[in-house]
Amino acid sequence: MVHRPQRPTLLSRMPWWLLAIVLLFVLGFWAMTANAGYATIFAALSGGVATTLWVTAVAFTLATALGMLVALARTSGNRVLVEIATFYVEIVRGIPVLVLLFYVAFVGAPALVGAVNWALGPTGASVTIRQFDFAWRAILALTVAYSAFIAEIFRAGIEAVPVGQIEAARSLGLGRWACFRHIVFPQALRTILPPLGNDFVAMIKDSALVSALGVQDITQLGKVYSSGTFKFFETYNVVAFLYLTMTISLSLLVRWLERHMAVGDRR
């Protein structure tokens, strides 16, 4: 008698760490809805979720665009562009994000305002530093900080494409831009996507640093609420829960995209 192996069920295929996270999420959500104190804290901090997501989304979009330009400069073959892009990447990656945040907010922003006023001239409308919102200063700092790391991700993905395919595309008459758009980038995207998704998750966590500038994100609202009520344990439980919900959801989405693209490659 031949015993056929049983097909694994969904529960047996689900990793234990994910089950533990789901259980933790359910317990945390139940505690916040059943306990009046936690419900009040959650209501007070929920407004910061939109700010956190907005700052992260705008900064990551700008950082991705800037990182792509820097990566193209590093792989261009032009000696001047390569040296300038490499200098930018090495300098920015060597500065802690918090230090860069303060530098952009209190040094770079006033210098930028001064440059704008100089460009407008004495007859133009002057711009004051107060018009440069701290949220946009934080976005600018995160953009600069993460563009260097994203540039390295793009560079590695581009250089992972076999040179023979690029040479074959050029021999068929494709221009430099057409070769990049049709041959290089679609293949590089499979290499780029996982670390790019990880950087987005990391930026959500690093966006908590903008609270140092008084931006009303989750961390800042939690800091204000806990200092006024002295409920530090409960408040930072909610803060951690909100960040975990966002980061784990995005991590699972990135994993799903990786598997989806891997299945597409096998087909």
pLDDT tens-digit readout, 222-263: 999 999 888 898 899 889 888 988 888 888 888 887 777 665
- Structural domain contains residue 222: no
Torsion angle defined by CA atoms of residues 205, 206, 208 and 211, in that order, rounded to the nearest 10 degrees: -170
Residue 262 lies inside a defined structural domain of this protein: no
Collect all residues with Cβ–Cβ distance below 8 Å to 235 and sequence separation of at least 6. 41, 45, 222, 225, 226, 229
Tokens of 33: 């809805």
Question: Mean pLDDT over all residues of the chain?
Answer: 83
CB contact burial 161-170 (16+ within 10 A = b; e otherwise): beeeebeebe
pLDDT per position as a tens digit, 133-155: 888 999 999 999 999 999 999 98
Q: Is residue 249 part of a domain?
A: no
Q: How many domains does the chain have?
A: 1
In the prediction, which pLDDT does 158 show? 82
pLDDT in tens, 98-130: 999 999 989 988 888 888 777 777 766 677 777
Task: Say yes or no to pLDDT of 85 above 90.
Answer: yes
Residue 123 lies in a domain: yes
Tens of pLDDT, residues 168-227: 777 777 777 777 777 777 777 888 888 888 899 999 999 999 988 888 899 999 999 999
Asked, for residue 7, whether it belongs to a domain, the answer is: no
Residue 221 belongs to some domain of the structure: no
Within a domain: 116: yes
pTM of the model: 0.83
Give the domain extent around 147: 53-215
- Give the CATH number, domain containing residue 96: 1.10.3720.10
162 backbone dihedrals φ, ψ, rounded to 5°: -55, 135
On whether residue 266 sits in a domain, the answer given is no
pLDDT in tens, 11-23: 566 677 777 878 8
The C-alpha atoms of residue 97 and residue 201 are separated, in whole angstroms, by 15
